[in-house]
Amino acid sequence: MSDYETVEVRRRGGAATIVLNRPEALNAWNTQFGIDLKAAILDVAGDDEVRAVCLTGAGRAFSSGADLKDLSGREELTDQGRPNVYKVLTERYHPIITTIRTMPKPVVAAVNGPAVGIGLSLALASDLVVAKESAYFLLAFVNIGLVPDGGSSLFVPSRVGFPRAAEMALLGERVPAPQALEWGLINRVYADDAFDGEVEALVDRLAAGPTASYAGTKRQLNNWLYTRMDEQLELEAQVQQDMAHSDDFVEGVSAFIEKRDSRFQGR
């Protein structure tokens, strides 16, 4: 495995754990993070010695979503000087999501803290999602004038149905792990002090299991639920690019950075 600046890959037998490793920023996605995570995901997907993959976060968060304070992405601008989110999504983030869904081995998201925005999308792209009791899930896009992306407009309703998906996307409120379990958004919740041991046991079980069977199951579930995934990801990127040119997006980001309530104008 290669070394990366913002993620860490750990091997234990047939299991590979990818640790999102920007704890000082709650594992928020900046430019380097997106590059590193894409490379790490592609590495483990193509390694036949890896039979199960775990995604988790360093520190107290799984991932807080996009890093709105990051300046390293300024090269990703449109001719109008707005963030070129379409390019970032289609060239950097979508390959991460589609590789997780299509790699012929099970992927577990071990959500050790907040999973927000694209961080939530990453977790829900996995086959199994387990969480600490203290963790929470948040479709935060609306809070800065954006829309769900990274596949969350597909993964959330496929797990919890339209009413709860609409509630999460339109209201942008936290869903605590126990409630997420009740809704069917995730698979299991573990007590915080038992979390690491439970995750290790689950991933080891999968790594020792019938890998071809798991791959066949993923193909079946993808064919039933996600045959339009590429189409939906493309739509997300197009709509998100429109939102990035809105005044509400500028206000939402400014309010976030200034730690104040947003004053949206609806344009």
Q: Would you state the pLDDT for residue 73?
A: 52
Separation CA 41–CA 103 (nearest Å)? 9
CA distance 147 to 244: 10
**244-254 burial, b for 16+ CB within 10 Å, e for fewer?**
bebebbebbbe
Give the CA radius of gyration of the chain: 18
pLDDT in tens, 100-127: 999 999 999 999 999 999 999 999 999 9
Does residue 135 sit within a domain? Answer: yes
Which tokens is 80 given? 């109008």
- Smallest CA-to-CA distance from 150 within 200, 208, 212, 101 is with 101
Domain of residue 115, residue span: 7-193+210-258
- What is the residue-averaged pLDDT of the chain? 95
Per DSSP, the residues of 192-251 read GGGHHHHHHHHHHHHHTS-HHHHHHHHHHHHHHH-TTHHHHHHHHHHHHHHHHTSHHHHH
31-46: pLDDT as tens digits: 999 999 999 999 999 9
Angle between helices 229-244 and 152-160 (to 10 degrees): 120
Q: What is the pLDDT of residues 3-33, one digit of tens each?
A: 899 999 999 999 999 999 999 999 999 999 9
Could you give the CA distance from residue 179 to residue 3 in angstroms, rounded to a whole number? 37
The answer to whether residue 1 scores a pLDDT higher than 60 is no
pLDDT in tens, 211-262: 999 999 999 999 999 999 999 999 999 999 999 999 999 999 999 999 999 9
Most confident of 53-67, 77-91, 244-258: 53-67
Confidence of residue 95 (pLDDT cuts 50, 70, 90): very high
Give residue 11's pLDDT.
96
Residue 266 placed within a domain: no
**Confidence tier at 79 by pLDDT (50, 70, 90):** confident
Contact 56, 50 (CB under 8 A): no
**Inter-residue contact 60 to 97 (CB < 8 Å):** no
Is 201 within the bounds of a domain? no
First-last CA distance in the chain: 46
* 3-state SS track over 2-22: CCCCCEEEEEECCEEEEEECC
Which pLDDT band holds residue 75 (cuts at 50, 70, 90)? low
pLDDT score at 250: 92
Is residue 202 included in any domain, yes or no?
no
pLDDT digits (tens, 9 = 90+) for 160-190: 999 999 999 999 999 999 999 999 999 999 9
- Category of 263 on φ-ψ map: left (φ > 0), alpha (ψ -120 to 50) or beta: beta
Q: Judge whether 61 lies within some domain.
A: yes
Q: What is the dihedral of CA 253, 255, 261, 265, to 10 degrees?
A: -60
Q: Are strands 52-57 and 188-190 parallel, antiparallel or unpaired?
A: unpaired
> What pLDDT does residue 82 have?
82
Q: What is the number of domains present in the chain?
A: 1
Would 203 be classed as within a structural domain?
A: no
Which CATH number goes with the domain that contains 18?
3.90.226.10
Could you tell me which residue, 73 or 97, shows the higher pLDDT? 97
